[in-house]
Amino acid sequence: MAYVKGHWQLLLLVIVIFALWSTPVMVPLKIVVVLLHEISHGLAALLTGGAIEQISISPQQGGVAQIRGGSRFFTLSAGYLGSLLLGMGLLFAALRSVADRVVVAGLGVVFLLVAALYMRDLFALVFCVGLAAVLLAMARWLDHRACDLVLRVIGLTSMIYVPFDIFSDTIARSHLQSDAWMLADEFGGTTMLWGGLWLVLSLVAIGASLRYGLGGSSNITFGATAEGD
């Protein structure tokens, strides 16, 4: 009961996200996670000496990152796991700091840069610029508690979406040409092997982060202004 009392808001958010999961309400958030997925591929390429040619996302929750050079192993592995880590980072930025408006603004700036540097097709460009504008407006006009909630929603959606997507794309439908399929084709093993490994790693990471990172209470306190606005 003490755990529920200390984290009831977070538990309620998870319930709401699951309740709305298959509705149109969640589609924009799922596309945001896909965008984080593709950005993670790009970051892995940059960190291993490669370059990003283009990033694209679609209304059907698809995405692609066109990469030149870098480590194929790390760039292929970084999509699911990287977007999970980014989502966890946003969640714990909300839980462990009062700089929520700064983080939301920073995320908006990152999306603007991605749109300007790497996006060419109309939907991806409009979605990314629109998302950045919304985040920057929130950071400018809303208080830190509202921005905190935004970070929690994006972070939790990523933490739910990633293992579900891994299972769907690499185990339930292992014939798809997913990241795991390409990894198996280029480095050996099977799609289900790599997908299963990523699924286990994602679940362990989520479990460990929630067990050791939440603390005694994660609830947003209303009726008081915190420092850091």
| pLDDT tens-place string over residues 41-82 | 999 999 999 999 999 999 999 999 999 999 999 999 999 999
CB count within 10 Å of CB 61 equals 15
CB 134, CB 29: distance < 8 Å: no
Predicted local distance difference test score (pLDDT) of residue 227: 44
Mean pLDDT of 18-35: 96
> β-strands 51-57, 63-68: how paired?
antiparallel
Predicted local distance difference test score (pLDDT) of residue 117: 96
Q: Which of 205, 101, 174, 113 is nearest to 143 (CA)?
A: 101
pLDDT digits (tens, 9 = 90+) for 188-202: 999 999 999 999 999
CB 102, CB 173: distance < 8 Å: no
**What are the structural domain ranges in the chain?**
2-57+72-213
pLDDT digits (tens, 9 = 90+) for 131-161: 999 999 999 999 989 999 999 999 999 999 9
CB 9, CB 218: distance < 8 Å: yes
How far, in Å, CA of 168 to CA of 150, rounded? 26
Predicted local distance difference test score (pLDDT) of residue 228: 45
CB 32, CB 154: distance < 8 Å: yes
